[in-house]
Amino acid sequence: MSKEMWDQRFSEPDYAYGRQPNAFIKDMSERIPKNSKIGCFAEGEGRNGVYLAKMGHDVSILDQSDQGLNKALQLAKEEGVRIETVQGDLTEMEMESDQFDAAIMVFGHVPKQDQLFLMEQLIRSVKPGGHILFEVYSEEQLSYGTGGPKSTEMLYAAEDVLSWIKDYKCLHFYYGEAERNEGERHNGIGHVIQGFIQK
């Protein structure tokens, strides 16, 4: 999905996926050590990053969409917190290693050929002992029609994800149904892959 497509989607007045954090991130957030430096990958309009900033974390939001990042800054201002934004194509950006205490990615969907690189950079950016949390739609999501990409090419396979995280301590892994009601774009029961690992 191109920068232009995301800029267009995020230029609408409403927040495409709402202003509230993803349920998985909210449920797991208490397990992130206090006052962590957190990188939020493919974060769009900032709902998860702003939530984590409100918990007292030092948050950097990374996304390719300038429109999304502008709305993230606006949301942070409205909520009385500060965030840093980084604009760039996450399928090409080499991340500085060991810069974050934790990293998250929620529905960061990219083509199959780029998924491993994105996951590697997510993990690379985190210090040893730090945490990585992610939730994405699985290939099964196509039959649900409740949000996410309309092509298997942009969805994740559980066996791929497991192979990418096998060298790290897995604190939580889930492959199955979850109800997500996030703005106008995610509504109803879908099929997700969740991971919470320690580097």
Boundaries of every domain in the chain: 3-198
Average pLDDT of the segment spanning 121-140 = 98
Is the confidence at residue 9, as pLDDT, over 90?
no
pTM (global) more than 0.85: yes
Nearest to 193 by CA among 143, 163, 168, 156: 156
pLDDT band at 7 (very low <50, low <70, confident <90, very high): confident
pLDDT band at 10 (very low <50, low <70, confident <90, very high): confident
Lowest mean pLDDT segment, chosen from 6-15, 83-92, 98-107, 148-157: 6-15
User: How high does pLDDT run on average in the chain?
Assistant: 96
Is the confidence at residue 111, as pLDDT, over 70?
yes
Is the confidence at residue 1, as pLDDT, over 90?
no
Q: Does domain 3-198 have CATH number 3.30.70.3040?
A: no
Is the confidence at residue 79, as pLDDT, over 80?
yes
Q: Provide, rounded to the nearest whole percent, the portion of the chain with pLDDT above 90.
A: 91
Q: Which residues of 127-164 are buried (b: 16+ CB within 10 A; e: fewer)?
A: beebbbbbbbbbbbbbebebbbbeeeebbbbbeebeeb
Average pLDDT of the segment spanning 161-186 = 96
Which residues are CB-contacts of 141 (< 8 A; sequence separation ≥ 6)?
147, 148, 149, 155, 190, 191, 192
Position 122 scores a pLDDT of: 98
Position 5 scores a pLDDT of: 85
Q: What are phi and psi of 49, to 5 degrees?
A: -65, -40
Segment 19-77, tens digit of pLDDT: 999 999 999 999 999 999 999 999 999 999 999 999 999 999 999 999 999 999 999 99
